[in-house]
Amino acid sequence: MGKPKFSDELKRDAVAQITERGYPIAEVLRRLRVSVHSLYA
């Protein structure tokens, strides 16, 4: 199984939700259906 590809827009939005808007990391990951490993990778 290959590594999932996330668009640059999704990556920027996820980081912005956490750093600029102050949403908890777990909440953002759950809403975007992204694993913790994928976020930090």
Please determine, for residue 4, whether its predicted confidence score (pLDDT) is greater than 90: no
Structure-model confidence comparison of residues 5 and 31, the more confident one: 31
Can you tell me the mean pLDDT for 4-30? 90
CB 4 within 8 A of CB 35: no
Specify the pTM.
0.69
CB 23 within 8 A of CB 17: yes
Q: Where are the domains of the chain?
A: 8-40
What is the three-state SS of 1-41? CCCCCCCHHHHHHHHHHHHCCCCCHHHHHHHHCCCHHHHHC
Tens of pLDDT, residue by residue over 21-30, are 999 999 998 9
